[in-house]
Amino acid sequence: MIAPSLLSAEFSALGEAASLAERGGADLIHVDVMDGHFVPPITFGSAVVKSLKKSTALPLDVHLMVSNPWQQAEQFLEAGADMISFHIEATPHPYVIYQRVRKAGRRVGISLNPMTPAEAIRDSLPYVDFVLVMSVSPGYGGQPFIPETLVKIETIRKWVEERGLTVPIEVDGGVTTKTIPSLKEAGAEIFVAGSAIFGAPDPMEALKTLKELTL
């Protein structure tokens, strides 16, 4: 599955970018929410997600890079987010958020930064619908891929299989035609791509090429 990240799209034309991604065969639309505290930049608010629902029928995959995921999750649920992930580093009480998002009938995921060990989310696996592994430091698009991410993905995939769970692994950061094959082999199933799509001369063609590599 390919999830184009709007963080790398033209901010004045997010609806058009989402529509283009849908026409190009995207599976999800990835929305990076940053609060200027957990990570330095400030990006999208819940009003953007509400507006995007008018531009695409694809599920909106909202990635909360925020210091107060409980409060933010409520806002984005109301705005229509279909999937919400948040960082294990941001809260000591992730289970409350898991329960709230699932109660709303949406998919919940847990995310972890490159320097956070996989062990940090091991106990969460039975309670989430997906795991989002950051393969670059969160906050900015266009960063180079951190190769040690592959071992982390392999480890999480092993735990998922040992427990007989259905928890796909999503990977965000440095996803390109060069990195998708190794990420797929490691066990990733959802690929977030920003610069590789919206920074390409022909974004739709770039998206199609990336998706072919995931099949």
Residue type, 181: P
Q: Which residues form the catalytic set? A: 32, 172
Kindly provide the b/e burial profile for residues 125-162, where b requires at least 16 CB atoms within 10 angstroms of the residue's own CB: beebbbbbbbbbebbebebebbeebbebbebbbebbee
Q: How many Cβ atoms are within 10 Å of 40's Cβ, its own excluded?
A: 11
Residue 74 and residue 39 in contact, taking contact as beta carbons nearer than 8 Å: no
Residue with tokens 């329960």: 99
195, two tokens:
């610069």
118, two tokens:
């996989």
Residue with tokens 């007989």: 164
Residue type, 94: P
**Which neighbouring-strand residues pair with 133?**
112, 171
